A = this chain, B = another copy of it.
Amino acid sequence: MPETTPEYAVGVDLGGTNLKVALVERTDGIVRQATLPTEAEHGPERVLDRIVEGVQRVVQGFEAHGHVEGIGVGVPGVVSMDRTTVTKPPNIPGWERVRLADHIGPRMAEAGIEVRGPIIAENDANAAALGSAFYGAGVPFDSFIMVTLGTGVGGAIIVDNRLFRGTTGAAGEIGHMTIDYEGPYDRTGVAGALEAYLGQKFLSRHARYQLLARETNLYATSGRDLEHVTPQRVHAAALAGDEAAREVLTWAGHKLGVLLGSIVNLLDIRKVVVGGGVSRAGDFLLDPARDAMKRWTMPSLCEGIEIVQETRGNDVAMLGAARLVFEHIDDAA
């Protein structure tokens, strides 16, 4: 086997609460990583400082081994088509419109870190899909749909190992697609959107109402407070054999599968990777999703449809952010 020179990039996953940073080698994946509080409440300047600090932590002492090709940053919210500019990320108050490289580049120089290549932004759900495609459960698939079940329901589309980004870079908002035009509203006002069933707040509320009148051990662990009936606790109860909790996850999985079947009909992309906190419910959620997906995919397109769980957890967002840099290098070559 020919020896290849290792290539390194930094991937950043910018969350509202925590910032995750990884030094990523193109083939080997994460070499080292750090998590630090985003401190979003102190405004955008502080957040940008924190990003620099995070990068510093993972590259410190690394300079002897090589150099960093560039930095990719996965951010919640809208990223411009040219991947330079991040507009109003939710959870980061006061952030209007920031050209990431203009702000991070000089700070890197001040901190004495040489970044040879670009600083690239991408929507976090897109970054997660790219990470999955190259380092996660998406590796076996050339094309797949990524669904991220977290506080909200995010999504992304991978076609031939590239992100499908649409006209403005905003493609993949699976959580806001409807499965019932007379259904409940999501937080953007779309009736019957998937997020209005599977978003953490919505799922918790459904669980609470479903379980109020049922025999369940869930209240033993959660109390009767709405906030404490989390998807995580529903999953724990399901694992412990609680039938009512299992029914809640079956209900949620069914909704997911309905939409996935619909998407297969549109895109003829038959593989799905599901990640995010709520996906930890695993087959309690995904088996009903698989059943429904088959029923809402037209029969001639059912062959080969598959839903798998992301194996790398939330690390795929950092990995995908770093992958943006490697992709940039490949495209320029």
- Residues of chain A touching chain B, judged by Cβ–Cβ distance below 8 Å, are 78, 143, 155, 157, 159, 164-174, 176-182, 188-192, 254-255, 258, 261-263, 265-270, 295-301, 304
Contact = CB atoms under 8 A, between A and B. Distances in A.
A177 B261 CA distance: 8
Choose among A177, A191, A254 the residue with the greatest number of B CB atoms under 10 Å from its CB: A177
Given A167-B304, A168-B268, 16 more contacts: A155-B266, A165-B268, A166-B268, A167-B269, A168-B301, A170-B300, A173-B301, A177-B262, A179-B192, A180-B180, A188-B298, A189-B299, A190-B265, A190-B296, A190-B297, A266-B266
Given A189-B299, A191-B296, A296-B190, A262 B178 contact: yes
A87 to B, nearest CB: 9
The oligomer's copy count stands at: 2
A292 to B, nearest CB: 8
A10 B155 CA distance: 41
A176 B165 CA distance: 24
Nearest to A170: B268
A267 B180 contact: no
Nearest to A271: B167
B171 A267 contact: yes
Contacts of A192: 179-180
A117 B211 CA distance: 66
A268 B180 contact: no
Given A178-B179, A178-B258, A181-B258, A173 B265 contact: yes
Given A190-B265, A268-B171, A78 B300 contact: yes
A76 to B, nearest CB: 13
A130 B227 CA distance: 51
Nearest to A166: B268
A204 to B, nearest CB: 21
B298 A190 contact: yes
Contacts of A266: 155, 157, 171-174, 177, 263, 266
A53 to B, nearest CB: 31
B180 A179 contact: yes
A132 B166 CA distance: 20
10 contacts: A157-B267, A164-B267, A166-B267, A173-B266, A177-B263, A179-B179, A179-B181, A180-B181, A190-B265, A190-B295
A143 B167 contact: yes
Contacts of A270: 167
Choose among A166, A169, A191 the residue with the greatest number of B CB atoms under 10 Å from its CB: A166
A261 B180 contact: no
A309 B201 CA distance: 40
Contacts of A168: 268, 301
Contacts of A169: 268
